[in-house]
Amino acid sequence: MTPMSGIKEFNLPDLGEGLTEGEILTWLVKVGDTIELNQPIVEVETAKAAVEIPAKWGGVVTRIFHEAGTVCEVGKPIIAIDTDPTGSSSRSEKAGADSPSEKAGAEEAGAGLIGGPAPGGRTAVLVGYGPRTTSAKRRPRAGTATAPVATPAPAPAPEPVAPVVTGPVLAKPPVRKLARDLGVDLTTVGGTGPMGSVTREDVHRAAAPGVPASGPEVFEAGPREQRVPVKGVRKLTAENMVASAFTAPHVTEFLTVDVTRSMKALAKLKVRPEFAGTKISPLLMVAKAVLLAAARHPMVNSTWAGDAIVVKEYVNLGIAAATERGLIVPNIKDAGRLGLRELAEALNTLVTVAKSGKTQPSDMTGGTLSITNVGVFGIDTGTPILPPGESAILAFGAIRPTPWVFKGRIRIRQVTTLGLSFDHRIIDGELGSRFLRDIGAFLEDPEVAILSWT
């Protein structure tokens, strides 16, 4: 049945490079609501972040295709909007395919594309926002072919599924990076994910034929048990951690540090007029210590690229953040160029946005060096797993009053334990030890370190 001419279906757009699906978190409108152009209508969670999607037409909501809590593929309709509820354009639609209104409608099909004009004179900035200039097509699943819709005929005998070896490959950015790290050509991998996309398991199978990427048993929930679906941010985090743990050889070293002088320096900063209104915490001192130590040991801020090591001249400092949807590691771009007050403000913004669930995908990509603050949970330290593509991550433990030998006498001092995990392909024991030692030296006496290192 052909829908009424004024009703348009809005498909789930691609909210980030290579993403193939999203979970409907919350509808911000309901059937019967009158909405405006660019009004936020739904909140969707992808494997990277939760984002609000704006309406690309004004009108009346006539149908919602997916309830909150369901997962929808990119390109599938999520909402229908009657853009002409009064029927004022019905006569012009009856004039035929060559009528001026249809020509205008054809021109409108080009609006809303990235970098081009959007309705209302705006410029479209959301990936996938606006209708396409060509008829919508979905990427065929691996081993299948597309054909025009015709009268149903008897199905041919099944043929072996062959890998997709030509044309563009549908895969998430972390999967593409994993393939590069493992030396796998994605064009030779048959995708088993949604819409024929290549998954991490596909890459692992291609890298080690005959060896299963993972073999977990499937457990159904029994009495007094709850089955929690793994999806969105939590699913991507799990994939990243498995890939990192079994790709990069991890080494972890520990250092217990007297941070009494850092805490005194922090107290001095809090009463400085330039820090008025800015929340500062011990994490600020640790972040500064990591940045200065990385400047002294550039190799720790690098990526393993198979046949080369890529050393970064900038530090995108990642801060692990626990959210309701799982662990994320947003990063502060070019953090090494920030002054102490700017760094404090950036840390505050990062944490606040992460807790609100509004961290953007761009803020969670490109990290080069990370910190996980397990001390906020009362934990002394840990052995953190590297975020994919990074060579070092520091665990910052709880600061506790502790008996400590200071100037030859036992005193109560503020003490913490640091845990540094690093990729042993890039960082050997000496370099890792020197890097960790310098972080500790800064925290033991930050004023002297700043004066002598910069």
Answer whether residue 379 shows pLDDT above 80. yes
**Tell me: the pLDDT tens digits for 231-286?**
777 777 787 778 788 788 999 999 999 999 999 999 999 999 999 989 999 999 99
- pLDDT-based confidence at residue 163 (cuts at 50, 70, 90): very low
Cβ 190 vs Cβ 162: under 8 Å: yes
All CATH 3.30.559.10 domain ranges of the chain, comma separated, are 248-453
Answer whether residue 112 shows pLDDT above 50. no
Rounded CA separation 330/361 (Å):
9
Query: What is the sign, positive or negative, of the torsion defined by CA atoms of 76, 143, 177, 202?
Result: positive
pLDDT at 120: 39
CATH (residue range 7-123) = 2.40.50.100
Task: Please tell me the total number of residues recorded for the chain in this structure.
Answer: 454
pLDDT at 1: 42
CA distances from 424 to 119, 245, 293, 388 (A): 53, 12, 18, 14
Least confident window among 32-36, 84-88, 438-442, 449-453:
84-88
Answer whether residue 372 shows pLDDT above 80. yes
Answer whether residue 114 shows pLDDT above 60. no
pLDDT at 124: 36
Cβ 340 vs Cβ 287: under 8 Å: no
The identity of residue 217, as a single letter, is E
Instruction: For 304-316, give the secondary structure using H, E and C.
Output: ECCCCEEECCCCC
Least confident window among 21-25, 155-159, 186-190, 203-207:
155-159
Least confident window among 20-24, 143-147, 281-285:
143-147
- The tokens for 3 are 């829908």
Rounded CA separation 139/169 (Å):
9
Q: Does domain 248-453 have CATH number 3.40.50.720?
A: no
Of 101, 58, 64, nearest to 82 by C-alpha is 58
pLDDT at 218: 54
Which helix (H) or strand (E) segment holds residue 234: the answer is helix 232-245
Of 201, 205, 171, nearest to 186 by C-alpha is 171
pLDDT at 217: 52
Least confident window among 51-65, 123-137, 316-330:
123-137
Answer whether residue 171 shows pLDDT above 60. yes
Of 430, 432, 402, nearest to 419 by C-alpha is 432
Report the SS3 class of residue 207: helix
Helices (H) and strands (E) in the chain, counts: 10, 21
Kindly give, in sequence order, each residue whose CB lies less than 8 Å from that of residue 364, ignoring residues fewer than 6 positions away. Answer: 48, 49, 328, 329, 330, 331
Of 73, 75, 74, 93, nearest to 83 by C-alpha is 93
145-174 average pLDDT score? 49
Catalytic pick among 66, 204, 250, 424 = 424
- The tokens for 76 are 């599938």
pLDDT at 147: 40
- pLDDT-based confidence at residue 213 (cuts at 50, 70, 90): low
Active site residue 424: yes
- The tokens for 29 are 């409108």
**Tell me: the pLDDT tens digits for 394-453?**
999 999 999 999 999 999 999 999 999 999 999 999 999 999 999 999 999 998 888 888
Report the SS3 class of residue 447: helix
Cβ 57 vs Cβ 34: under 8 Å: no
Q: In this prediction, what percent of the chain has a pLDDT beyond 90?
A: 45
pLDDT at 295: 96
Instruction: Give the CB-side neighbour count of residue 386, counting CA atoms within 13 A.
Output: 30
Q: For all residues of the chain together, what is the average pLDDT?
A: 79
Least confident window among 88-92, 111-115, 187-191, 248-252:
111-115
Answer whether residue 154 shows pLDDT above 80. no
All CATH 2.40.50.100 domain ranges of the chain, comma separated, are 7-123
Answer whether residue 214 shows pLDDT above 60. no
CA distances from 75 to 25, 174, 338, 342 (A): 17, 21, 41, 41
Answer whether residue 125 shows pLDDT above 50. no
Which helix (H) or strand (E) segment holds residue 93: the answer is helix 90-93
431 phi and psi angles, rounded to 5 deg: -65, -45
Global confidence as pTM: 0.60
184 vs 315, residue with greater confidence: 315
CA distances from 429 to 305, 370, 422 (A): 20, 19, 9
pLDDT at 220: 67
**Which residues are registered as beta bridge partners of 250?**
423
